[in-house]
Structure 1
């Protein structure tokens, strides 16, 4: 299928691993041809397609280059090419959960972060330390997600997308 115009892409999807990008590609209802134009400073390789009414650009972190710096670079480069249209950016993959007595989190579960108190909704392990009692003590935090649709979110069960 021919590729739509750059301004027609509204979702950017970033994967850390090639196998995650392959799975993401299989989620597409329709796949598009490669981009005909791309910002010269954008080194990402995109898989493009559509899910429902949303045109999606999928990019993967470079092989062997994991972590927040690589993810930031891929996101920044994606914005170079799709800056006029992306409304949602997703980092999707096999992330680590924080199991607790209240939440039985297992591989394959879908976890959506939700800001709560002083937490932005995502806990980054390199912004904390394990104390003598084995508990995680946060030493920093990430920014909260955008407020659109999340403003009344108190826990996972109460979140209703708008």
Structure 2
């Protein structure tokens, strides 16, 4: 039986179509998903499972901060039991002279004051 809307606990947001397609390939199982029409949610989602976690994946319609904000806002509102909402991608803008970030590194945003920051782990 497919999970209902309350059983999705991880939201995965991708900025680029390539990231979205790679994320969809990571799913152990894909579902048709719950009906979200009428919820004022403009996103298109792929629903699935990785291990024991039910995941909803969304992609930005266009690249940009306001688009990312809108996708996240609608996703969190439509899926009230999300424990994590992650922006996952290639992070092309993360490397700098201060942070030696290379392919395969994981970058996590760390808010500092009114700004977010990046650290390599």
Q: What TM-score range do you get, normalising by the shorter chain?
A: 0.7 to 0.9
- Deviation per CA, 1:89-116: give whole Å up to 9, x if none: 1000121213236x4312342212345x
Deviation at 1:39, TM superposition (A): 4.4
SS of 2:107 mapped into structure 1? coil
Shift of 1:18: 1.0
The structure-2 alpha-carbon separation of the partners of 1:76 and 1:113, relative to structure 1 and needing over 3 Å to count, comes to closer
The C-alpha deviation readout for 1:27-74, integer Å capped at 9, x for no partner, is 111111132344431011110011111100000001xx2111000100
Q: Does 1:16 align with 2:15?
A: yes
- Cα RMSD of the aligned pairs, angstroms, is 2.3
Q: Which has the higher contact order (CA 8 A, sep 6+)?
A: 2
Per-residue CA deviations over 1:125-157 (Å, capped at 9, x if unaligned) read xxxxxxxxxxxxxxx514x9xxxxxxxxxx766
Larger Rg: 1
Residue 98 in structure 1 maps to residue 95 in structure 2 = yes
Q: Which has the larger strand fraction?
A: 2
8 A contact 2:11–2:55 mirrored in 1: yes
The gaps in structure 2 that reach 5 residues or longer are: none
**Which of structure 1's runs of 4+ aligned residues deviate more than 3 A?**
none
Q: Distance in 1 between matches of 2:39 and 2:109?
A: 34
Number of paired residues? 119
Q: TM-score, normalised by structure 1?
A: 0.64
